Amino acid sequence: MQERDIQIIDHPAAWRASDVAGKEDFAIDLTPRHIHAMQDSLAGFRASVDETGAATPDAFPLTPIADDIAKWRTELLHGRGMVILRGFPIDQADPADLRAMYLGLGTHFGRPVSQSAMGDLVGDVVNIGGKDPRERAYRNSRTLNLHTDRCDHIGMLCLHKSMEGGVSGYASALAVHNEILATRPELLAALYNGYHHHRFGEQKPGDPLVTAERIPIFSITKGVPNVIYIRGYIDLTVAEGHITLSEMEQDALDYFDTVANRDDIRLNFTMEPGEINFTIIASCCTPERASKIFPTPPIGAIYCACGSAKTAAPPPPASSPIKAKTASCLVRTRARIIVRRTPQSEATPIYGALATHPGQAKTQRV
């Protein structure tokens, strides 16, 4: 994409920390009506999953609160892209029921999928790998840089706080895009052109360790922006000698980080037990610093992944672009739900389908 073709992305999701009062601006309190609806569907859902192995919204009906769920999805897809639900009943269910209830709620945002080689739909956020950079981010205690995830939506359920650290930071990647366009527009060409990514050994047998294609950080298909920013995957290709970056490519990455971490761009907060944070990937997220968490149960969080046409909100008009991925804040005291959908266009060559247009669900690991 030529510099002259790149325009400001005008959308509510292009918010800045300076635009909001804090976490409260995104918070919604769950009521007994919401809790009862989930509890009433729990037994049938667990039986259905045990029998069929498939987690679907039909198996976890939430008809009494369907209107509220539709509003939450609309805020994710067409609003600011982040919703924090407070009051999830973490102290009213045993661990198995809690996981099932969380997974069931997630099915109403999309079809559960996995984004790890382990194939886990619901995964524990716990310190297994210590400082190992090759361990999955939700299974080690390293500080995370701002990044997106390889999916459409992420949900994080806080079960309890970490022993130390655990501050989350979110920045709208659309706001970062607009700020770079205003201040260093010459760098955007490199970000649209993309970078090769390390596959961390999770590629299919016979596939290369580093992606043959460049993965755009910013791309726009049919008016819908898509954002893939996983700096660690790029840096590892350079550290191992697979790829050499040009000066412009390096400057573009560094400036992205500089802008995203500015006080007026990044919103920092700590999640409390019983809070679920649903976000869409046009936001990036990171812990403020490394978290010291319990290496064995009790775990701090659980994680699960989703994406389905049936539950998707209707697409916006072409003149109203939406953000296309999920912000994955992999703080070690959170749970994640990941949503992936196949877009109406396959034009973006990245990790499968990442746009939030409704489409046929894509469930295989890529």
**Worst-scoring range by mean pLDDT, 76-80, 130-134, 142-146?**
130-134
Is the whole-model pTM more than 0.75? Answer: yes
Calculate the dihedral angle through the C-alpha atoms of 340, 116, 101, 308, rounding to the nearest 10 degrees: 20
| Direct distance between the N- and C-terminal alpha carbons of the chain, in angstroms, rounded to an integer | 26
Domain ranges of the chain: 3-339
Residue type, position 280, single letter: I
**Which residue do the tokens 């297994």 mark?**
128
Residues paired with 86 in a beta bridge: 29, 275
Kindly give, in sequence order, each residue whose CB lies less than 8 Å from that of residue 270, ignoring residues fewer than 6 positions away: 161, 166, 167, 168
Distance CA 44, CA 100 (A): 11
Cβ(314)–Cβ(282) below 8 Å? no
Distance CA 287, CA 167 (A): 5
C-alpha distances (whole Å) from 257 to each of 234, 266, 350 are 13, 11, 21
Question: For residue 307, is pLDDT > 90?
Answer: no
Higher pLDDT, 152 or 116: 152
Q: What is the pLDDT of residues 275-304, one digit of tens each?
A: 998 888 766 665 544 344 333 334 455 544
DSSP state of 292: B
Give the pLDDT confidence score for residue 132 in this predicted structure. 57
Mean pLDDT of the chain: 75
CATH match for 3-339 among 3.60.130.10, 3.40.50.300, 1.10.3720.10, 1.10.1530.10: 3.60.130.10
Cβ(336)–Cβ(156) below 8 Å? yes
**Which residue do the tokens 């369907």 mark?**
66
Average pLDDT over residues 295-321: 40
Give SS3 for 115: coil
Give the pLDDT confidence score for residue 245 in this predicted structure. 98
The DSSP-derived string for 124-160 is EE--SSTT-TTS-GGGS-PPPPSB--SSSEEEEE-SS
**Worst-scoring range by mean pLDDT, 80-89, 261-270, 344-353?**
344-353
Q: Could you give the angle at the alpha carbon of 56 between the alpha carbons of 351 and 74, nearest 5°?
A: 70
